[in-house]
A and B are shown apart, each in its own frame.
Chain A
């Protein structure tokens, strides 16, 4: 290993990029996945299955449009159900992409360069999945544009004192900024694909998307400034998005929701689940496409450490919730805690603690951070745990109202499940397409990691 890579990698740890690469090998290796490798049967099968699941989602949506949300298991007192559980879960997953691309850029963590592109793509698709749920839950989704302030013949406006309106702005801003951040990051690589493309059609399409990028020094300078500023803007944005989502709950007066710890603990949980999803995608991708040189053990281990840290913050959040339930002396708060531990949904709460708190402690063991298979397993557990957490927050808090006359239970219907599983299929189908048509690793940022990319002083 040559000297500079060693400095960047830290002598005892796995390198960020395996030694021996040049500008040309990096370019060829990443662009060949898109340009020259034939579509494999595995890809066709995977995409086909996910596409069918997406069709199931459309079917469930179509039926919903005809019959209304009565086909779901939601009813008073549990008016939010799966729609909001899935919304919060998906949008949390999106957070890792922005964290990797923006916050780690500002913190000068060069290891992020090989995972930021597909993590950003993951963010976009996850936010798209998340965005579907509140819209479908509206009852009359075709009137969604009423949420935005626009001059209308009814002569009224949204209520800006409501967290639900804040949420509209937070999520739509987040999606827009993630999209332009991702696209701007792609432009130099699209130019690379334009110049490498073998078919005329591909060259024209990539050429249009690359907008005539030619790598001029003046362009790079402005580009770098814009990229850095976008990262600086996306950093508070990503922290604000889940904060605003948590306001949907925390601003209300329901026991189990009305707590000040929600914003930080939601953000930590979001990053926790997001990194779990990044690993669940990165581990198979690096194996299948032979990208172990670029997504090294270092990436897996670092992501595992981020999960461990954010997982502990989440654990602190649970502990504080429980403590405040007892310490506040409030009957309803105390009951919420008791109900979580012993009520009809106790098994969900205990599964949540197992998945989110107890089992992830395995990550303290080095073997679990370095073995892709074990890490994949832990990530699955964490994603399940985070989904259960959202379920506990939404359903378990709602199902016991202040008066016993308005207690109830929540039973998701097959339409709930079809919509949820459908978004999983949509998410994976979009990822499959992304892997085939766009460079999944940022080529130009990988080039800057090479020692020969530095200008030597005379």
Chain B
């Protein structure tokens, strides 16, 4: 029988404290390609697995600036260049009247950038992922906490890595077929 390649080794924990503790020890043990799964956001966890580069704020800033400049430019071009109408002798570029739409466009673009930027950086939508192959993983959206060491990690070794995870005292360990 052909052996399916292994995507990683998954360890299951009971509480956020255990997971964060295990993640820190794994990261300190030299495993860098790891991830953790939890049913709710845990503040300490991202740092524990060595995740520091969060691109979302920059995306939102760029989105907001685009909306702001684009919104004003649109109104300026329409009111002053393409379709100038004299309203009670006011200047064509009557900027105070353009503030509201500029503001709304800023919020709209920044908000959409936040949502779609977050999804894109997370690689979502991704309906299937190897971790879903593990039957116990359904509890990751309920009350269990998981830590994975990917097989692509340089330090990964089928026997050694499993032994290491066992030393963290998890509730269960499963191999994730890719």
A interface list, Cβ under 8 A from B: 22-24, 27, 149, 155-161, 163, 165-166, 169-170, 173, 176-177, 180-181, 183-184, 188, 191-192, 194-196, 207-208, 211-226, 229-230, 233-234, 236-237, 240, 244, 247, 444-445, 447-448, 452-456, 458
Contact = CB atoms under 8 A, between A and B. Distances in A.
B143 interface: yes
A279 to B, nearest CB: 27
A161 B97 contact: yes
A161 B41 contact: no
B110 interface: yes
Given A213-B124, A226-B115, A220 B46 contact: yes
23 contacts: A157-B83, A176-B108, A177-B107, A177-B108, A184-B115, A195-B139, A195-B142, A196-B142, A207-B127, A212-B128, A215-B141, A217-B35, A217-B42, A217-B51, A219-B124, A220-B42, A220-B46, A221-B45, A223-B118, A229-B57, A233-B114, A455-B20, A456-B17
A192 B138 CA distance: 8
B79 A455 contact: no
Interface centre among B35, B42, B43, B114 (most CB of A within 10 A): B114
Interface in B108-162: 108, 110-112, 114-115, 117-119, 121-122, 124-129, 131-132, 137-143
Contacts of A445: 40
B129 A212 contact: yes
Given A216-B36, A221-B46, 10 more contacts: A159-B87, A181-B111, A218-B35, A218-B122, A220-B40, A222-B54, A222-B122, A224-B41, A455-B17, A458-B21
Nearest to A208: B127
Given A169-B105, A212-B124, A217 B46 contact: yes
B9 interface: no
Nearest to B23: A217
A236 B41 contact: no
Given A169-B104, A222-B54, A214 B119 contact: no
B66 to A, nearest CB: 14
Contact of B100 (A166, A183, A226, A229): A166
Given A180-B115, A234-B111, A160 B97 contact: yes
A217 to B, nearest CB: 4
Nearest to B144: A23
B40 A149 contact: no
Contacts of B82: 157
Q: What 7 pairs across the A-B complex have the smallest Cβ distances?
A: A211-B125, A23-B143, A226-B118, A221-B46, A195-B138, A212-B126, A161-B97
